[in-house]
Structure 1
Amino acid sequence: MESQKGHRSLRSEIEHHIKKHGYTLRKLSELTGINQGHLSAILNRNPPRAITIRQLDALAAAFGQVPGWLYELYEEECFSDGKVSRPRLVPYLIRCAEIGRQDCIESIVSKLLENPKHVSILFSVAEQLFETGKRKEAVPFYQLVIDNEKDSHDDCFVLAHYRLFQTLQGTNAEEHWEAVIRFDPYRKRLPEQYQLDALLKLANVCFMVQKWNQVEKYADELRALATAVYEDELRRRKSSKECEPLKTERHLVVYYGQGFLAKGVALQMQGRYEEAKKYVQGYADLGWFQLLDETGQREVEKFRIWAKANLYTLDLLMGNIDILPDYVDFLINHPAEIPAGLLTIMESASKYDFSIDHILEHFSEEINHFKNYQDPINISRYSHFGYCKAIYEYKRGRIAKALEETLSCLSLADRMNHHQALKRCAELFWEHRHHTSSHFV
């Protein structure tokens, strides 16, 4: 194709296909939806009217060609007299990314990066792909921004790092932890509305990989920032000056409450139950929070339910088994809390050696659904649930079930690439290795 390029042009190819199909401009206008006058100006005016990428796609469809037809010749529409046409180039690169024309992207990028100022164009392409849900396609453009922007304090550079962190998917613990390490140095350079979301995601990812000290750090930062932003918002609304309202992914009360919740959970997972209770009180009743609209009120109610659930959790983990019937009733009435609740019950039973067979039977259907979870948080819970259940079964003397749970946990930890969980499960299996010969023969 490259060898022919010197003998072809976008317009000569279009004119060739018009003749080949015997179309008039009027007929072509009807087929493509492009104004007839615009078609004439594209083909006959001197200098010719520029073609948009959407018009080229419409022409391809009219001529029965595949998406991406003549894209390798479209560069001439994007560069003129040494200048870049941003309105044509950005949609072109977006379409190339959408349909996989990597050859065209590479050709354009090599020309663009001759001028460092054009990095902002690549960032614009990445942002538009990201905002339309095409995160995978956006990743190479964000990486180009990071690799070619010299100013590490530039907004595009910092946001590109954040966007790459946001594109994290799957359950690979090692990849998630590496992503935290890469993004962490840039978190405080983000604008406040992005910082709030970034800190919440950082805390959640560290929860998944069980880095409790890191969860605490980000939770503390989230609480401090959410409090400062809240106070600024109150002052702004009381002043007579008109200011741009703060734009965040979630209601402001979410960040404030999550700062307390994440801190409490991190303390809980380290066995610091009394300390954790103090933080539960921080989100148990957020009705005092001003600026609450209908969405905010719903979030406050969620925190109220979570606080009640987590107080049950802490009591049970501290050995207060008497609250178990009330906790089970709570879970029945709040099904969304069942995954976390059953983990707590299982952890407590394995720790204090009391029977929960009747509870496992009652929630057997829900437990069977655990293996279907796709989100990292619940998969992490499922992994810990299986580990605690293995200990529980060993203590009940049901060795075959215990070994089955242990092997299942090992498999899940391996699939998650979670070295800490893998080590813990291997140690459990090794501790009970003397049972293996009689049960696996």
Structure 2
Amino acid sequence: MNQLDQITSAMGLEQGCFYDMYGVEGFIESAPHWRRLEPFIYRCAELDKLDIIQKVITHVTDDHSYIDELFEVAEDLYNKGMKQAAIILYECVSECEKYQHSERLAMCQYRIFLISMGSDQKENIRIISKFEPFIERLDYDYQLDAIKDLANAYWGLHEWDKMKDLSQELERRADLAMKQTKKRVYKSQYPFFVYKAYANLLFSNYYDYTKNYEKALKYTDIYEEFIENQAKVYEDYEVHHKFREWAKLNKCLYKVMMGKKEVIPEYIKCIEHREEEILHAMVKILQSANRYQYNIDELLIRFKAQIDDKFSDERSRGRYTLRSWYYRRVVLFYELAFYYSNKREFELGAVSLLVSLELSVFVKDDVLISKCVNLYGQLKEYLSNQVHEKYKIIIDNIYIKASL
């Protein structure tokens, strides 16, 4: 590979321009050798030449010669952040794995699940359903992380009952793990107490969804107190700080959702310098304002830049899954439409409603599309012809995509 790169450089050509030819001659038309194949995969991954990796690996795995080695390279690429290259190897290894109950197959499916989750709701459901049966086949040390990640995925899809069931399983397994006296190195991402605390955080989110804010506060107190007690045993200050911050934010949030408008300044003070929390906070404040009929015009002006940027930088989503992040943007504009409509500012409401509908189509969420259509039906007599025309264009596009 080094010689090929030097030749390419001396000729003044783009790096990797001969990789396709080299892949065919070196690994497809002749017998592949691992000492040449391994650096070739790494170099293609570095240059993002994924189509070449796919072509070569599909041929190489025909005789199952290098499955062990390919899995190890996939893990290394994954850990180095080259995940799109890694997923090609994981998929090939999965297809070649003859033992359907093997830990390696389960690990491949787990990695594919983590890499593949995106903004498309229907695709995410397919990815989740494909991975879920493999959790029990994973190495026990990875199961806590897998259950946590799957619960987060259902959180992002707003499948609350499934999220709650997984949270209960996460807490049960964390309790069992914490009782183990055998000392050894575990492969889980966090100390066991973190999973128990996180399970209770998920419980609080469940009760937020069901509008049982007293219970949501109860479970917030549980994980906050639990983390404080663990702080005396473990010196993982970063984890403890995160949970304390989440508890502080969520306590303000649940009080706001109970209609306690006076808590909003404290809530805003907590989130104003945390980009990833502003969107979530504005969604919740709008929902509370719509439910209890109070004015938040000042806040809408203050955070206008973040609200107006409907397809804002995904890096601002922080700990939230991509699906959950997009969902919040849909709901934000839906609640804005309601808020302005309640104030009889129908044209402003219509602008927000069309954005919400557009985003609902983008994430392919039929429930959200239906909600937007229903709200439009309630407001249409107050809207201008221009709004009706824009609405028709969006709806027509839905039917066109559905017919393809």
- TM-score band by shorter chain is 0.7 to 0.9
| Pair 1:221–1:87, CA change in 2 (3 A) | farther
Identity %: 24
The answer for the alignment partner of 1:30 in structure 2 is: none
1:289 and 2:230 are equivalent in the alignment: yes
How far apart in 2 are the matches of 1:108 and 1:344? 48
Partner of 2:261: 321
Q: TM-score, normalised by structure 2?
A: 0.81
**1:362-384 alpha-carbon deviations (Å, 9 max, x no partner):** 33344345641414233322221
State the Cα deviation string for residues 145-169 of structure 1 (Å, max 9, x = none).
2222121211221111011111125
Tell me how far apart the structure 2 counterparts of residues 355 and 274 of structure 1 sit (CA, whole Å). 25
1:216 is displaced (CA, Å) by 1.3
1:391 aligned partner, one-letter code: F
- Which amino acid in 2 is paired with 1:358? E
Task: Identify the match of residue 113 of structure 1 among 62, 68, 93.
Answer: 62
Structure 2 regions of 5+ residues with no counterpart? 389-404
Residue matched to 2:200: 260
Q: What do residues 252-310 of structure 1 show as CA deviations (whole Å, max 9, x unaligned)?
A: 444332211122112211223233222212222312116523xx212212211211221
| 1:247–1:429 CA distance, 2 compared to 1 (3 A) | same
Worse-matched range after superposition: 336-345 or 148-157: 336-345
Conserved? CA contact 2:329–2:356, under 8 Å: no
Q: Does 1:384 align with 2:331?
A: yes
**What is the identity, as a one-letter code, of the residue corresponding to 2:135?**
R
Which residue in the other structure is 2:115 paired with? 167
Partner Cα distance (2:125, 2:362) in 1: 15
Q: Which amino acid aligns with 1:215?
A: M
1:427-438 superposed matches below 5 A: 427-437=374-384
Alignment partner, residue 43 of structure 1: none
RMSD: 3.1
Map 1:348-359 → 2, pairs under 5 A: 348-359=288-299
Q: Give 1:75 deviation, angstroms.
A: 4.0
The equivalent of 2:347 in structure 1 is 400
Taking structure 1 as reference, are residues 373 and 334 closer, same or farther at Cα in structure 2, changes over 3 Å only? closer
2:211 maps to 271
Residue 264 of structure 1 aligns with an amino acid whose one-letter code is: S
Q: How many residues align?
A: 374
**Relative contact order, CA 8 A, sep 6+: which one is greater?**
2
Within-5 A mapping of 1:33-432: 53-54=1-2, 57-58=5-6, 61=9, 67=16, 68=19, 70-75=22-27, 86-96=34-44, 100=49, 106=55, 109-110=58-59, 112-114=61-63, 116=64, 118-168=66-116, 170-232=118-180, 235-237=181-183, 243=184, 245-250=185-190, 252-285=192-225, 286-289=227-230, 292-293=234-235, 296-332=236-272, 337-369=277-309, 371-374=311-314, 375=317, 376=322, 377-432=324-379
Q: Following TM superposition, by how much is the alpha carbon of 1:200 offset from its aligned partner in structure 2, in angstroms?
A: 2.4
- Alpha-carbon distance in 1 for matches of 2:61, 2:296: 65
Q: How does the TM-score come out when normalised to structure 1?
A: 0.75
Q: Which has the larger radius of gyration?
A: 1
